[in-house]
Amino acid sequence: MKILRKYICLLPREKKESQVGVKVVVEMKKELDLIKQFCYIQLQVLKDREMRLRKEIQETTLQMEFITSTIEKIGTTTDKEEN
């Protein structure tokens, strides 16, 4: 509404209705383009985060498998020494 009032004051009376409509549409398009651009940036940030988290999960899984196998080997070695 502020944008509309701002432009109405600047225009001659006979041109107010048609030109105000055009100016408002242009301003709204600019704002929508900015929102769209922001959304694309946020989407890329989330994709990057997802890739980082997937990589961390993969590394964690490998570490868990290594530690589990090490524990099993130690347990097997200890069991043989006790017998």
* Whether the predicted model's global pTM rises above the 0.85 cut: no
- According to the model, what pLDDT value does residue 22 have? 76
Total count of domains within the chain: 1
Secondary structure of 39-61 in the HEC alphabet? HHHHHHHHHHHHHHHHHHHHHHH
Q: Name the DSSP letter for residue 11.
A: S
Per the CB < 8 A criterion, the answer to whether 3 and 27 are in contact is: yes
Q: Which residue has the higher pLDDT, 12 or 35?
A: 35
The identity of residue 44, as a single letter, is Q
Q: Report in angstroms the alpha-carbon separations of 55 from 14, 16, 23.
A: 64, 58, 48
The identity of residue 25, as a single letter, is V
pLDDT, one tens digit per residue, over 20-77 is 677 778 889 999 999 999 999 999 999 999 999 999 999 999 999 999 999 999 987 7
Domain that holds residue 29: 2-82
Say how far apart CA 12 and CA 81 lie, in whole Å.
100
